[in-house]
Amino acid sequence: MDKILIKQCLFYGSYLVFPFIGWLVWKMSKPGSRAIAACLLAASLLFAWSRFVEPQMIRVRETTLSGTGVHARIALISDVHLGVYKDSAFLERVVARLNALPVDAVVIAGDLTYEPGTASLQALFSPLARLRTPVYAVLGNHDQQAPGADIDRALRKALKGHGVQIIEGRITDTRAGFRWAGLGDHWGGNDDPAFLKAAPSSLPTVVLVHNPDSAMRLAPADATLVLAGHTHGGQIRIPWLYRKVIPTAYDFDRGEQLAHTPQGNVRVFTTTGLGEIGLPMRLFNPPTIDLLYLRP
């Protein structure tokens, strides 16, 4: 069976939990089976929350990062995963929240898609055209055939058409006295930092990546701060167990961490992202916009 069809069956079939909850409520009114029905009801309600409620929430989490040499307000998002589970209506809500924030720029740390099939990427990402601040992005593994179809060229064209600046493999100066740089997808081998090492600067450099493992290729002189996504924070954040599903080779999770690279410590901030893969669920870990206050 086609992979997308399986995921669609999972996505829409999960609505059956609601008649099941109704049946359990009825069973609890009958003597003799209340304890079992109550346990099943609790599990079903938790499933319904993680499938239908939490994935549609949009949380704004504020963090101050001092000692960066930069004075800026940045909205970091990642892993929107439009396609089989989320559509442009969700992105419309994200854009509305972003436009309400007092930020100097929006950065997107890759994985914008999740098996969009034959959907028009131009239409799917049209809400991005309404963002009121500069938007910088890199692509992720799901955008570049790891796994899924390689839609790299079509996605880049759609994003550029909506005013998004793709900064993979290049450096962009800002009026705020720091530089943006971007590394491509780590799994695709597109995160070679040679261009950064060939252009040293006294200006602070904020490096946007998808996979935080890319930070392990950097030296402290290459990056004042690395902004990443990819991990989803485990997506379904059941204590201890969620660590088993984070797809990184190094000990990255969410929030601020130090990457202990062979060349020294590099500061990394990883967002939990907005979308879902695998199961269309989130638990204890809602879709998040990270509002970062960078301070000197």
Q: Is 252 exposed, middle or buried (0-12, 13-18, 19+ CB in 10 A)?
A: buried
pLDDT for the residue 122: 97
- Residue 147: pLDDT band (50, 70, 90) is low
pLDDT value at residue 34:
86
* pLDDT value of position 261: 97
Superfamily of domain 59-294: Metallo-dependent phosphatases (3.60.21.10)
Cα R_g (the chain), whole angstroms:
20
Which residues fall within 8 angstroms of residue 228, CB to CB, at 6 or more apart?
A: 78, 109, 208, 209, 210, 211, 212, 214, 215, 252, 268, 269, 270, 271
Mean per-residue pLDDT for 103-115? Answer: 97
Say whether pLDDT at 146 is over 80.
no
With cut-offs at 50, 70 and 90, classify the pLDDT of residue 2.
Answer: confident
The set of residues, in sequence order, having a beta carbon less than 8 Å from that of 194 and lying 6+ positions away, is none
pLDDT of residue 4: 84
Q: What is the percent of the chain with per-residue pLDDT over 70, rounded to a whole number?
A: 98
Residue 1 is predicted with a pLDDT of: 53
Provide the whole-model pTM.
Answer: 0.96
Mean pLDDT in residue range 11-30: 94
* For the chain, counts of helices (H) and of strands (E): 7, 14
Report strand pairing: 225-228 vs 205-208.
parallel
Instruction: Give the per-residue pLDDT at 148.
Output: 65
| Residue 240 clears pLDDT 80, i.e. is over it | yes
Q: State the amino acid at position 3 in one-letter form.
A: K
pLDDT exceeding 90 applies to what percent of the chain? 91
- Environment class of 191 (CB within 10 Å of its CB; exposed 0-12, middle 13-18, buried 19+): buried
Q: Mark 253-277 as b/e (b = at least 16 C-beta within 10 Å).
A: bbeebebebeeeebbbbbbbbbbbb
Tell me the average pLDDT across 76-105: 98
Residue 167 main-chain phi, psi, to 5 deg: -115, 20
- pLDDT band at 3; cut points 50, 70, 90: confident
168/143 Cα distance (integer angstroms): 13
> What pLDDT is recorded for position 78?
98
| Among the ranges given (144-148, 249-253, 291-295), the one the predictor scored with the smallest mean pLDDT | 144-148
> Where exactly are the structural domains of the chain?
3-54, 59-294
221-246 average pLDDT score: 96
Average pLDDT value over all residues in the chain: 95
* pLDDT beyond 80 at 51: yes
Question: Which residue, 139, 147, 130, 21, is CA-closest to 84?
Answer: 147
Flag whether pLDDT at 149 surpasses 80: no
Provide the pLDDT for residue 145. Answer: 72
pLDDT band of 42, cuts 50, 70, 90: very high
For residue 286, count other CB atoms closer than 10 A to its CB: 18
For 162-208, the pLDDT digits (tens) are 999 999 999 999 999 999 999 999 999 999 999 999 999 999 999 99
